[in-house]
Amino acid sequence: MTRPDSVAGLDVKILDDGKMLISGVVLSRKKESVTHDRSFSGITSIEELKQHVSPGLPVSICLHGKGIMHKKVTAFEGDYVDLLPQILPNARLKDLLVQIQPGERTAPCVSATRKDQLEKWLHIFSEAGLDVVNVTLGPLLMDHVLPLLTVKEEEMHVGDFHLWIGKEGLEKFNVNGTSPTEDVAVEIDQKSWKASELIGFSQAFVSLAGIDPAPASDDELMKRGKVEYEQKVLFRKSGWMLLIFFFTMLLANFLMYGHYEKENQRLEEEISINGRKVDQVNEMQALLDEQEHFLSNAGWNASAQASYFVNRVASSVPEKVQLTMLHVYPPRKSEVASATKADVQFDGQHMVISGATTNSLILNDWIKVVKSVEGITDVKITDYHQKSNESIGYFELEATLGK
């Protein structure tokens, strides 16, 4: 079990009328030191006690008073049945709860009470929502506190008990007929305490330090509250861990959702924009197809292409070459002589270029330039005549046009 950080040690006296008189001490653990938070006394009801014990604060109880007997036995070898004749002859162990002084002692102090009475008292605390993690009958845990006292006396009056202290610790104790009129001061680790607070201090200190409680004949009954408290703490921690886990998951999902929502919005906007662009492209393509169809039917495509070739060829003419004719799409030669004007068909794959030059080498270079024009696949010389090297030469070229 993980030790609690704070514990309330309660000194609970059962009065003759069945009511309780409660005093207590709240201790806290900070690293390896124990600090005193507060003390209280004169509490007569559970409701009043809850004003001093905050919710969730575990309590360690010392029960004494009516219905609880204390005795120093002469021998104990670990068998509680053999111990009964020294405590209450003819009693049955199943009816009693017997608790012995901690430590290996051959003649320990022993406390006993009826189980049904003990369960009734524990039920009162449990019903009030108090977590009882340890129950001790009488001052049996004082052995763990006595070594801490700065000054040790052979006899001490601690609350309702008269203690006799020996070399091994608590030798024996009796219940005072009446509480001492003077509550003497004792010192623990340079801090002054009232002697009446030592019972509550011992209960809180043992639980806070994780020291084993006093052995009992029915450990299951005595440890029931401790087990329930451990389960409650485990459940609370598990609940917080699950809550933190799910909160973290929800936060991560929220952040991821926000991220992907923004990304989705961005993509939807892009899709919308691209969709509009696609629509615009489709509209432009439809318009272009319509215009091409119109131009094709009107015969303007060929005119535009012819203008392109004329412009490119004309712009590339060298200074010493003079063009006399550019005939794009000439009439088919085989039909020129016989066909009428209505029957004439034109050659859409050729262009005839005529001109004159004084330098045939320049003409050869220009032919190469014309061949490089995009859409012209070949250039042939169909006619060239020159009377002498010094006279003007006349040429006719035929350029083949690509589709």
Residue 199 pLDDT greater than 90, yes or no: yes
State the DSSP H helix or E strand holding residue 325, giving kind and residue range, or none if neither: strand 321-328
What pLDDT is stored for residue 2 in this prediction?
64
Q: Which residues of 70-80 are buried (b: 16+ CB within 10 A; e: fewer)?
A: bebbeebeeeb
Residue 119 pLDDT greater than 60, yes or no: yes
Q: Which residues of 368-388 are buried (b: 16+ CB within 10 A; e: fewer)?
A: eebeebeebeebeeeeeeeee
Across the range 210-234, mean pLDDT stands at 79
Report the alpha-carbon distance of residue 285 to residue 275 in Å, rounded. 15
Per-residue pLDDT band for 328 (boundaries 50, 70, 90) equals confident
Per-residue pLDDT band for 198 (boundaries 50, 70, 90) equals very high
What pLDDT is stored for residue 89 in this prediction?
84
Look over the chain and give the mean of its residue pLDDT values, rounded to a whole number: 84
Report the alpha-carbon distance of residue 267 to residue 149 in Å, rounded. 77
| Tens digit of each residue's pLDDT (9 = 90 or more) over 256-286 | 888 888 999 989 988 989 888 888 888 888 8
CB 212 within 8 A of CB 102: yes
The CATH number assigned to the domain with range 302-401 reads 3.30.1360.100
Across the range 305-331, mean pLDDT stands at 83
Total-model pTM:
0.59
The rounded Cα 78 to chain-centroid distance in angstroms is: 52
Across the range 57-61, mean pLDDT stands at 93
Neighbours of 173 (CB within 10 A): 23
Residue 350 pLDDT greater than 60, yes or no: yes
The rounded Cα 211 to chain-centroid distance in angstroms is: 37
Report the alpha-carbon distance of residue 190 to residue 295 in Å, rounded. 113
Q: Which has more confidence, 41 or 82?
A: 41
Query: Regarding the domain delimited by 6-217, which CATH topology (the fold level of the hierarchy) does it fall under?
Result: Nucleotidyltransferase; domain 5 (3.30.420)
CB 111 within 8 A of CB 86: no
Per-residue pLDDT band for 178 (boundaries 50, 70, 90) equals low
Q: Which has more confidence, 250 or 333?
A: 250
The domain spans of the chain are 6-217, 227-298, 302-401
Choose among 68, 65, 51: nearest CA to 17. Answer: 65
